[in-house]
Chains A and B, each alone.
Chain A
Amino acid sequence: MYINRVNTKILPVEFKYFAPKTVSEAASILNRYGEEVRILAGGTDLLVKVKQRLIEPKYILNVKGIEELRFIEDRSGEIGVGAATKLSELVGSEIIKEKLPVLHEAAEAVGSVQIRNMGTIGGNLCNASPASDLAPPLLVLNTSVKAYSSSGERVIPLEKFFLGPGETVLKPDELLVEIKIPCPPEGTGMSFLKVARTSMDLAKANVAVAIKLDGNTVKLCRIAMGSVAPTPIRLFQTEKILLGSEFTDGKIERAVQTASEEIKPITDIRSTAEYRREVSKVLVRRALKKAYERVKEGEING
């Protein structure tokens, strides 16, 4: 009897593995192998899929060793976050906590400590799960993302980034390198809420809200939800109900109703469409009220 040092079960497929140190190296690998490469930017989704043989990649490109993709920068008016920044780094960042508390809350709601230590902001977005916890707050923050390829860079509004479950507008040779988050105007109140089956689970539904008031008139209103459509979505119709009008219970209820009509939930293993629609109303109502309370707290605390 010997101790077995041959791992017999982690990944059942063979692949070539790259771990470049720079963005340009990574870009040239993507340029060469294109669609056959899967990017490892955390592994909490990719490796599970490989293990279950849902995908059998020929090449795996690990971007977690690229130092220039790991940063959180305060650029007065905008926060720049490197795509390979870990979720636990987001949670621990004083800049995020102070300037973008809603993103701090959402990052903290993702999975467990272990998942947050593995997962990255870029991986979370590129995985394009409709249930992403980061997408709704980033959407209401009017975030853009920067993609890099051997032929150049481009900046894409996050609103236009997701195409469907697991699909983004990135081309096979493009690498997501940076998330650019404008700081919300002074006095904006924001909130993030989530309903899941257990503490560690993906969302059955989640929501982020950003509002700003002038007196009691809504001057800015952005609402985004996850797990209620093929991609994380902004609820533009719902926002319109509130924008420019008084923030009253009646208006909130109209907004809640519109939200439940605007979303397109499906039934899957985690939830039924009917429940998602019902609980979305609760989430939108609570998130609006919480954001409003924060506006008011901000006014008091000045």
Chain B
Amino acid sequence: MEKEIVTLKEKLNVVGKPKRRVDAKEKVIGKALYVDDLRFPGMLYGKVKRSIYPRARIRVIDTSKAKALKGVVAVLTAKDIPGKNMVPIIVEDMPLLAEREVRYIGEALALVAASSKRTAEEALKLIKVDYEPLTPVTSPIDALKNTSPKIYGENNIVISYKLRKGDVESGFREADVIIEREYRTGYQEHVYLEPQGIIAVPGPNGSMVIYGSLQCPHYVQKAVSYVTGIGMNKVRVVQVETGGGFGGKEDVPSWVAGYTAVLAYRTNKPVKLIYDREEDILSTSKRHPAIIKYRTGAKKTGELTAVEVKYILDAGAYATLSIPVLWRGTVHAVGPYKCPNIKVDSLAVATNKVPCGAFRGFGTPQVIFAHESQMDLLAEEIGMDPIDLRLKNALEEGDQTATGQVLRESVGLKETIRRAAELSNWHRKRREYSLLKGVKRRGIGISTVFYGVSLGAAGKHLDKAASLVHVFPDGSVVVFQSLTEIGQGQRTVIAQIASESLGVKFEDVYVQQADTSIVPDSGPTVASRGTLMPGMAVIDACKRIKKRLAAVAAEMLNTTPENLVFENGEVYNVYKPGKGMLFKEVVKEAYNRRVNLGAEGWFEAPFTSFNPETGQGEPYFVYSYATHIAEVEVDVETGKVDVLKVTAVHDSGKIINPATASGQVEGGILQGLGYALMEELQEKDGYILNPNLTDYLIPTSMDAPEIEVSFVEARYSKGPFGAKGIGEPSIMPTAAAILNAVSHAIGVRVFSLPATPEKIYWTIKGSGRYT
């Protein structure tokens, strides 16, 4: 009997269904309000005066002429900041406004608030900065030289990590084959559709409300409190509709809001600050450029015996998020493979360039490009099919990762590889494409990855989530949680989880946008944690309410609470289906009996650990897995690549919404395609040469390949309905799969990203093939 009930309750009505995005209609018809759509009485327009040198001493900032301009209300420099001149991120090294020295082009020096945007822009021109230019350091290799000027700490190293397992030297001695190569990757700009934007509104009793386009409201709350000196209890951050983030709105809004809040504080007026695209590209974070030296040892039969990695990130002028980005990259440096002997050394190095930060994948796409290229080189060297080599080394349940973590559950990796091979007709195409002659050559390539879901041991103090759920007398439900909808479908997925948990209709659940005054600090919306963490907190709250309702319903239906099923807005006795009541009838009765119909939910991330000396431990509590197989056609006379198809198989545990999950994967693939082939931020001596979308190119719908998505649902026992995370794994394998396919097509390999037509052309030319 017991068993039968469990089966019934496991039947899912809303979770696992492709529910339409709750925010889709308003966004499609243009009704949704973004930050620039909002206006407040008396609102001023903010602008930021920025450095034009990569490194210079500031002698004087003369604001007198700007202040005298009609319509200008405030011109502020570092000394006018009411609180600390510091943006709190992980370490405190970055001032809100540079005071004595500027460290990158685009660094903020002064702020203007004026009655119109145009006046604010005019005022910027009137601020005179007297600089003493200093020699900039713009490459991490230069920065590491003894002779380099010291621009960060004693040695220009922002952070370093090491990971040690077994003994690599003996591992290489055991190897029949050793592959050693160096890889380089470039910047990637997020190009979220909506640039950065914040409105700060001073309120009564010295309070301040921040409306903004952002991922992490609790970060912004802390930063605003820091720079204004206002207590966190009087700073309220409300996220408005946000036009994309991809990590670019993780830390950056903390300083955009900092500027805006300081202006609002000093003028006592609402202030709006919206970045132009150029300003956004010049001054906000990007994916770190990287240098990866990779050495892989293996047996003739394919088993990895040793992996040694040196991973260097170009951090830019301040630490911002380089610390966790490098950590994640270090932990993932070996890929989803078993290997007994591992040595990883990683460094994030300061340069006089815009600080790099979070970007979907967070320090992993760079090392994935390296380890997946290495796997193909190894396969070639020992004459093994790339799929077979990966299957031979791929992690499965009971195996140990590079950090010595034993994977106890939810490891769908091998199935992603097998299914991707099958769906893409790998073996047939691999053979047929190899035989092609002529100008257009085709190739097929694979890349496979794992991804530690949520913040892991490095961010464990932040890894928690809260929710607040209210059921109203009409049977409708409101859910508050403070992870953000940034285009990924988060609110829809949370509504599905709440609806399934309470057994109410999906349409009867409304999920509010994040507001720091309502929900306790739930950490950031990053690390593919937007489903798992708040989902568990929402289930927790729903369970509490359901328990109270069940007590009432059991009485009404003359049974015990254990026999009740809450489903699709109805409540019934499992032994008497069809003779139940409506959910709202139960709610009404409970309401009249003065039952508390609101509850708070809470979830703390499961155990994680990390030993800083050895890198060993359980850095993440669970992993998602993914395999992408890309097919390309390369014009060997011009180097132009057309990506024909990407087959993507993901294990992200139970998929709450297959439509939004597929959307994530498709978007990730396109972003990964741009990273692989097109997106090239050109920088010279600290100057970005193409800070606009005419010259920095991202893929358009016309560049999109055919995409086939499939899910392996290896459920995770501590996730909501078995879910893990999908956002970042979506992009992680793509670039490496495309580059492996290009290499299969042309018979030579490109060792740096992006693989532009020119780079491919010269690689072919240099190889002496096709002459």
Q: A112-B702, A199-B702, A278-B761 are in contact. Are A2 and B40 (CB under 8 A)?
A: yes
Q: A2-B39, A198-B697, A199-B703 are in contact. Are A8 and B761 (CB under 8 A)?
A: no
Q: How far is the CB of B37 from chain A (nearest CB, A)?
A: 5
| Contacting pair B700 A8 (CB below 8 A) | no
Q: Which residues of A in the span 270-295 have a Cβ within 8 Å of any Cβ on B?
A: 270-272, 275, 278-279, 282
* Complex contacts, B678 vs chain A, CB 8 Å: 197-198
* Complex contacts, B692 vs chain A, CB 8 Å: 52
Q: Which residues of B in the span 726-761 have a Cβ within 8 Å of any Cβ on A?
A: 756-758, 761
Complex Cα distance A159/B345, Å? 61
| Contacting pair B761 A9 (CB below 8 A) | no
Cβ of B695 within 8 Å of any chain A Cβ, yes or no, is yes
Cβ of A300 within 8 Å of any chain B Cβ, yes or no, is no
Complex Cα distance A151/B478, Å? 72
Complex Cα distance A199/B700, Å? 7
Q: How far is the CB of B193 from chain A (nearest CB, A)?
A: 14
| Contacting pair A269 B695 (CB below 8 A) | yes
Complex Cα distance A121/B572, Å? 70
Cβ of B28 within 8 Å of any chain A Cβ, yes or no, is no
| Contacting pair A201 B640 (CB below 8 A) | no
- Cross-chain pair count, CB within 8 angstroms: 76
Complex Cα distance A43/B110, Å? 34
* Complex contacts, B756 vs chain A, CB 8 Å: 197
Q: How far is the CB of A227 from chain B (nearest CB, A)?
A: 14
Complex Cα distance A12/B120, Å? 11
Q: A3-B38, A282-B637 are in contact. Are A9 and B758 (CB under 8 A)?
A: no
Q: Which residues of A in the span 241-294 have a Cβ within 8 Å of any Cβ on B?
A: 269-272, 275, 278-279, 282
* Complex contacts, B121 vs chain A, CB 8 Å: 12
| Contacting pair B757 A52 (CB below 8 A) | no
* Complex contacts, B697 vs chain A, CB 8 Å: 197-198, 201
Cβ of B432 within 8 Å of any chain A Cβ, yes or no, is no
| Contacting pair B700 A3 (CB below 8 A) | no
| Contacting pair B690 A3 (CB below 8 A) | no
Interface mask (B409-431 → A, CB under 8 Å = 1, otherwise 0)? 00000000000000000000000
Q: Which residues of B in the span 253-281 have a Cβ within 8 Å of any Cβ on A?
A: 272, 274, 276, 278
| Interface residue tally for chain B (C-beta within 8 Å) | 38
* Complex contacts, B37 vs chain A, CB 8 Å: 3-4
| Contacting pair B690 A8 (CB below 8 A) | no
| Contacting pair B682 A4 (CB below 8 A) | no
| Contacting pair A269 B638 (CB below 8 A) | no
Q: Which residues of A in the span 1-41 have a Cβ within 8 Å of any Cβ on B?
A: 1-6, 8-9, 12, 14
Complex Cα distance A279/B39, Å? 52
* Complex contacts, A48 vs chain B, CB 8 Å: 694
| Contacting pair B757 A195 (CB below 8 A) | yes
Residue of B nearest to A286 (CB): B637
| Contacting pair B761 A198 (CB below 8 A) | no
| Contacting pair B39 A4 (CB below 8 A) | yes
Interface mask (A181-195 → B, CB under 8 Å = 1, otherwise 0)? 000000000000001
Cβ of A200 within 8 Å of any chain B Cβ, yes or no, is yes
Cβ of B91 within 8 Å of any chain A Cβ, yes or no, is no
| Contacting pair B638 A8 (CB below 8 A) | no
* Complex contacts, B41 vs chain A, CB 8 Å: 2
Interface mask (B107-119 → A, CB under 8 Å = 1, otherwise 0)? 0000000000110
Q: How far is the CB of B38 from chain A (nearest CB, A)?
A: 6
Residue of A nearest to B694 (CB): A48
Interface mask (B592-624 → A, CB under 8 Å = 1, otherwise 0)? 000000000000000000000000000000000
Cβ of B475 within 8 Å of any chain A Cβ, yes or no, is no
| Contacting pair B45 A8 (CB below 8 A) | yes
* Complex contacts, A278 vs chain B, CB 8 Å: 761, 765
Residue of B nearest to A281 (CB): B637
Residue of B nearest to A200 (CB): B700
| Contacting pair A271 B689 (CB below 8 A) | no
Q: Which one of B33, B117, B211 contacts A8 once the chains associate, using CB atoms below 8 Å?
A: B117
Complex Cα distance A197/B211, Å? 38
Interface centre among A6, A200, A270 (most CB of B within 10 A): A200
Cβ of B36 within 8 Å of any chain A Cβ, yes or no, is yes
| Contacting pair A12 B695 (CB below 8 A) | no
* Complex contacts, A112 vs chain B, CB 8 Å: 700, 702
* Complex contacts, B765 vs chain A, CB 8 Å: 278
* Complex contacts, A270 vs chain B, CB 8 Å: 695
Q: A3-B38, A48-B694, A282-B638 are in contact. Are A269 and B702 (CB under 8 A)?
A: no
Residue of A nearest to B636 (CB): A282
* Complex contacts, B638 vs chain A, CB 8 Å: 195, 279, 282
Cβ of B719 within 8 Å of any chain A Cβ, yes or no, is no
Complex Cα distance A278/B278, Å? 32
Residue of B nearest to A199 (CB): B702
Complex Cα distance A6/B36, Å? 10
| Contacting pair A272 B700 (CB below 8 A) | no
Cβ of B699 within 8 Å of any chain A Cβ, yes or no, is yes
Complex Cα distance A110/B702, Å? 13
Complex Cα distance A259/B343, Å? 54
Q: Interface residues, chain B, CB within 8 Å of chain A?
A: 33, 36-41, 45, 117-118, 121, 211, 272, 274, 276, 278, 637-638, 640, 678, 682, 689-690, 692, 694-695, 697-700, 702-703, 756-758, 761-762, 765
Q: Can you give 15 contacting A-B residue pairs, CB < 8 Å? A: A1-B39, A2-B38, A4-B38, A8-B274, A9-B117, A112-B702, A198-B678, A198-B700, A198-B703, A269-B690, A269-B695, A275-B757, A279-B638, A279-B757, A282-B637
Q: Interface residues, chain A, CB within 8 Å of chain B?
A: 1-6, 8-9, 12, 14, 48, 52, 112, 195, 197-201, 204, 269-272, 275, 278-279, 282
Closest 8 CB pairs of A and B: A199-B702, A4-B39, A275-B758, A282-B637, A2-B39, A269-B695, A198-B697, A200-B700
